[in-house]
Amino acid sequence: MKKKIIIANWKMNYNFYDTTHFLRHLLKFFNHEKEIEKNHQKIIIAPSYPFLHISNQIVQGTNIHIAAQNIHDMEKGSYTGEVSAIMLKSIGINNVILGHSERRTYFNETNKILLEKIYIALKNRLKIIFCIGETLNERNNNKQFISIQKQLEQTIFICSVKEIENFIIAYEPIWAIGTGEVPYYHEVQKMHNHIRLLFKNKYGKFVSDKIHIVYGGSITELNCKEFFKQKDVDGGLVGNSSLNINKFLSIIKAS
Ligand code: PEP
């Protein structure tokens, strides 16, 4: 059975103290629950840039991995305030979230820009958690499947079969992020199955069986079990509920 992947996206929350305190608490839990750590899931935490280095040091040698929330689409240069893939690699970061709807909406990240970011990330051997999702308008007009297909065709599907190994897909209906609204569980399963089928048509069964497709959008300690029960849901990307240690631990346990 595939290991479930639980990803915490802390966004622009948590200062130095909150970050280090949370991670130490998480490690303490894992020290008590060795079985969970060894056998069941992979945990990825995405703190803010200033705390990536210390976070990586804290989780060194454990089953917890650290991800950046973004990279610039160039490797270096006169881009004041930006952070590059090369910089992240130099402090031992191996994962990055790309395509989050907040980046697409507030920072105008188009599929074209995201493709550039994908190239830079792959060139620097970063694993990519790639977010895709439909708007409420698309969902209301039954355009969610075509929207997702388009997002994949303009980004990831330009990659080679070898490069696909470096991706985790996060299906996040935009209208469900941070709103407390969630799709029906069977609808999530249907979309995940659709995404897997698109991968199968493009790259073959081996790749489509292997790729992790996680769900994101208002996951809580109360609804997570139902999401994780769905056949094609390989884990979760958690925003708000990952900021509360008890809720986040419940979500990990449920997976
Ligand atoms: C997210 O930001 O990716 C997310 C899923 O947030 P939330 O869990 O708060 O909806």
DSSP string, 99-125: --HHHHHHS---HHHHHHHHHHHHHTT
Tens-digit pLDDT profile for residues 93-147: 999 999 999 999 999 999 999 999 999 999 999 999 999 999 999 999 999 999 9
Residue with tokens 């708007």: 135
The answer for residues whose C-beta is within 8 angstroms of residue 103's C-beta and 6 or more apart is: 70, 109
| CATH number of the domain to which 56 belongs | 3.20.20.70
As a whole number of angstroms, the distance between CA 201 and CA 176 comes to: 28
CB hemisphere CA count around 56 (13 angstroms) = 17
State in Å: Cα 80 to ligand 1 middle: 28
What's the pTM value of the predicted model, to 2 decimals? 0.95
Q: Is the pLDDT confidence value at 34 over 70?
A: no
| Phi, psi torsion values for 31, nearest 5 degrees | -65, -30
- Of all protein residues, the one whose alpha carbon is nearest to atom 8 of ligand 1 is 239
Query: How many angstroms separate the CA atoms of 132 and 19, rounded?
Result: 27
What is the arithmetic mean of pLDDT over 47-74? 96
- pLDDT at residue 29 in the model: 86
Q: What value does the mean pLDDT take over residues 208-221?
A: 97
Name the closest-CA residue to atom 1, ligand 1: 239
Which of 104, 188, 215, 219 should be mutated for ligand 1, with most atoms under 8 A from CB?
219
pLDDT (0 to 100) of residue 41:
81
- The pLDDT score that the predictor gives to residue 38 is 57
pLDDT at 1: 73
Q: What digits encode the pLDDT tens for the residues 169-201?
A: 999 999 999 999 999 999 999 999 999 999 999
Q: How many domains does the chain have?
A: 1
Q: Which position has the higher pLDDT, 1 or 12?
A: 12
Q: For position 16, what pLDDT does the model report? A: 98
Q: Which amino acid is at 157?
A: F
User: Which amino acid, 155?
Assistant: T
What's the CA gap between 101 and 172, in Å, rounded? 8
Helix (H) or strand (E) segment spanning residue 95: strand 95-98
Domain extent at residue 142:
4-254
Per-residue pLDDT for 36 more than 70?
Answer: no
Catalytic, out of 37, 65, 72, 100: 100
Dihedral angle computed from the Cα positions of residues 145, 149, 151 and 157, in that order, rounded to the nearest 10 degrees:
160
Testing ligand 1's pocket by substitution, the residue of 11, 45, 136, 172 carrying the most ligand atoms inside 8 A of its CB is: 172
- Tally of CB atoms within 10 A around 165: 12
Check: CB of residue 233 under 8 Å from CB of residue 188: yes
- Distance (Å, whole) CA 194 – CA 24: 38
Q: Is the pLDDT of residue 35 over 70?
A: no
